[in-house]
């Protein structure tokens, strides 16, 4: 655990007691602060009480005595309206920050030459974070991976000389980290998202861009340039420090930066462009979206001083991110892919764009817009297997375009898809769980849904003598 610094014998309030909030209370107490904790949800308060934390209703906080308020990223800071406690803190002149800010201050105060890599973007940041962490370990570094993925950032180990913190940061977390200054900052892409929490997509993009705001001349900015927002941000950063900004692109040649064409990775940061490696054969990095993730990770590895060959060797051994195009088994020309994290159509489109001969398991609790936006990928789908609440609505969208079978439950869908794929003479068939839906009609989370898919597939394969991943 990282002990928060700067608040010894001072009063600090923590609002929001989810995973990161509880870790924040522990960190502050380890640093000598007196913490007043609160969550508007009784169940969260009960969990905090079990750890013996001091619970005080936010409406009863002694604002004059507070040195800071630490806000969970899940609680509105600006939009659609600040939480009442945020308004009160601002009126009283109490700083409102998040756990990423406490982390940044603690690392700086340690005096250790640990390095921080921070990754953000609308899509792909979890895979990129996991890939960079894997790369750091394979290249000999002490990778501490967390933030918006896995461990809460303050649960990571204290900094050491060899530590490389690989931290996924959401726009909410950046908004609450006014001094965030990563040694390497990665911005992958920006598409409209979380508008309810940022007001406009322009404000959302501005918040994402703050990941670069406090970098110094020695720090590196890795920026995807394949959408208008990130392209503009890259142009602005290049104007400040051209040598330390690395543009990243997929599908087009760029004169300076890292880019991927047809699964081939190219490095044009030196005096001449060199082919850095072949991504097309790496199953866990399949598809153009993963090539962007790999290009950004490669640029990060080079910024950290790793050799090209070691970076590519690390990519080849990357196991993939659980529930995100995770290959969970393969037998008789059938590949089973767990993409349970695809809880909306945009996320599902990445897997559909990657594979052909797809036996698609889809459904759950539908998101706004359904799956009509995925029509361009329908020719890749051999048959769809419908589960959950969205089955009837999705059947209407697919009518006359993709043959669909109502299966109801995930296990029946797996069995039906496996039988149909086994009868297909294509060299590679893919049974794909990419639901384009939330899981809450039948499962507690997308993780539970993906775990059930993995366990069921691997049980079936073990019975038949197939290979589980």
Residue 369's pLDDT is: 85
Q: How far is CA 234 from CA 76, 181, 227, 316, 422, in A?
A: 28, 17, 11, 29, 48
d(CA 258, CA 37): 45
Q: Is the pLDDT of residue 467 over 60?
A: no
State residue 101's pLDDT score.
98
- DSSP β-bridge partners for residue 278: 264
Average pLDDT of span 247-254:
96
Choose the catalytic residue: 123, 148, 189, 293.
148
201-209 helix and 228-241 helix, angle to the nearest 10 degrees: 30
Categorise residue 13: left if φ over 0, alpha if ψ from -120 to 50, beta otherwise: beta
194 is catalytic: yes
pLDDT range class, residue 242, cuts 50, 70, 90:
confident
pLDDT of residue 194: 62
Give CA–CA dist 361/385, Å, rounded.
5
Query: Is the four-CA dihedral 366, 321, 382, 413 of positive or negative sign?
Result: negative
pLDDT on residue 421:
98
* pLDDT band with cut points at 50, 70 and 90 for residue 468: low
- Residue pLDDT, tens place only, 334-351: 999 999 999 999 889 999
How much of the chain, in percent, has pLDDT values that exceed 70? 97
Ramachandran bin of 356, using left for φ above 0, alpha for ψ from -120 to 50, beta for the remaining angles: beta
Q: What is the mean pLDDT of the segment spanning 404-427?
A: 97
Give every CB contact of residue 382 below 8 A, 6+ residues apart in sequence: 357, 358, 359, 403, 420, 421, 424, 429
Residue 368 is predicted with a pLDDT of 82
What's the mean pLDDT in 461-468?
73
Query: pLDDT per residue over 158-178, tens digit each?
Result: 999 999 999 999 989 999 999
C-alpha distance from residue 363 to each of 116, 267, 394, 398 (Å): 39, 40, 8, 12
Note the pLDDT of residue 193: 60
Lowest average pLDDT, out of 194-203, 364-373, 453-462, goes to: 194-203
pTM beyond 0.95: the answer is no
pLDDT tens for residues 82-141? 999 999 999 999 999 999 999 999 999 999 999 999 999 988 899 999 999 999 999 999
Decide if 175 contacts 209 (C-beta within 8 A): no
The yes-or-no answer on residue 148 being catalytic is yes
368 closest CA partner among 384, 387, 351, 345: 345
Is 196's pLDDT higher than 80? no
Question: At residue 228, does pLDDT exceed 70?
Answer: yes
Catalytic residue of the set 44, 83, 123, 125? 125
Per the document, the length of the chain is 469
pLDDT for 177? 97
* Amino acid 459: pLDDT: 95
323 given a catalytic annotation: no
Position 203 confidence tier, pLDDT thresholds 50, 70, 90:
confident
Tens of pLDDT along 132-148? 999 999 999 999 999 98
Catalytic residue among 112, 194, 365, 406: 194
Task: Give the per-residue pLDDT at 149.
Answer: 87
Give the pLDDT mean for 405-414: 97
| pLDDT recorded at residue 93 | 97
Nearest alpha carbon to residue 184 among 143, 149, 226, 155: 143
State the average pLDDT for the chain: 94
């Amino acid at each position: 655990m990282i002990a928060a610094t700067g608040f010894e014998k001072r009063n600090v309030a923590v609002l929001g007691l989810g995973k990161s909030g509880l870790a924040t209370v522990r960190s502050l107490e380890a640093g000598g602060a007196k913490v007043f904790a609160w969550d508007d949800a009784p169940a969260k308060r009960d969990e905090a009480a079990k750890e013996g934390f001091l619970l005080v209703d936010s409406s009863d906080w002694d604002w004059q005595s507070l040195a800071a308020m630490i806000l969970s990223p899940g609680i509105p800071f600006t939009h659609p309206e600040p939480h009442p406690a945020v308004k009160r803190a601002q009126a009283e002149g109490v700083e409102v920050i998040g756990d990423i800010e406490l982390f940044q201050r603690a690392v700086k105060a340690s005096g250790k030459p640990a390095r921080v890599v921070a990754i953000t973007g609308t899509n792909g940041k979890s895979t990129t974070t996991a890939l960079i962490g894997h790369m750091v370990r394979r290249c000999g570094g002490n990778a501490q991976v967390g933030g918006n993925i896995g461990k809460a950032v303050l649960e990571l180990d204290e900094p050491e000389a060899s530590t490389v913190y690989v931290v996924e940061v959401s726009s909410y977390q950046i908004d609450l980290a006014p001094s965030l200054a990563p040694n390497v900052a990665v911005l992958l892409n920006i598409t409209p998202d979380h508008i309810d929490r940022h007001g406009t997509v322009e404000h959302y993009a501005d918040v994402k861009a703050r990941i670069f705001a406090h970098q110094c001349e020695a720090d590196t900015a890795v920026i995807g340039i394949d959408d208008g927002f990130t392209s503009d941000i890259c142009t602005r950063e290049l104007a400040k420090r051209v040598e330390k900004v690395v543009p990243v692109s997929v599908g087009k040649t760029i004169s300076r930066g890292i880019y991927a064409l047809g699964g081939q990775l190219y490095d044009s940061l030196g005096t001449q462009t060199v082919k850095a490696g072949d991504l097309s054969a790496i199953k866990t990095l399949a598809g153009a979206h993963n090539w962007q993730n790999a290009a950004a990770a490669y640029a990060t590895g080079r910024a950290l001083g790793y050799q090209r060959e070691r970076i590519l060797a690390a990519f080849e051994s990357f196991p993939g991110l659980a529930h995100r195009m995770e290959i969970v088994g393969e037998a008789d020309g059938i590949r089973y892919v767990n993409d349970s994290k695809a809880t909306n159509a945009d996320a599902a489109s990445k897997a559909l764009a990657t594979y052909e001969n797809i036996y698609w398991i889809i459904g759950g609790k539908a998101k706004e817009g359904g799956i009509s936006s995925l029509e361009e990928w329908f020719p890749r789908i051999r048959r769809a297997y419908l589960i959950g609440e969205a089955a009837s609505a999705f059947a209407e969208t697919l009518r006359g375009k993709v043959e669909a079978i109502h299966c109801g439950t995930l296990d029946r869908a797996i069995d039906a898809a496996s039988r149909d794929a086994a009868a297909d003479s294509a060299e590679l068939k893919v049974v794909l769980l990419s639901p384009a839906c939330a899981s809450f009609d039948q499962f507690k989370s997308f993780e539970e849904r993906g775990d059930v898919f993995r366990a069921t597939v691997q049980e079936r394969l073990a019975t038949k003598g197939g290979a589980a991943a």
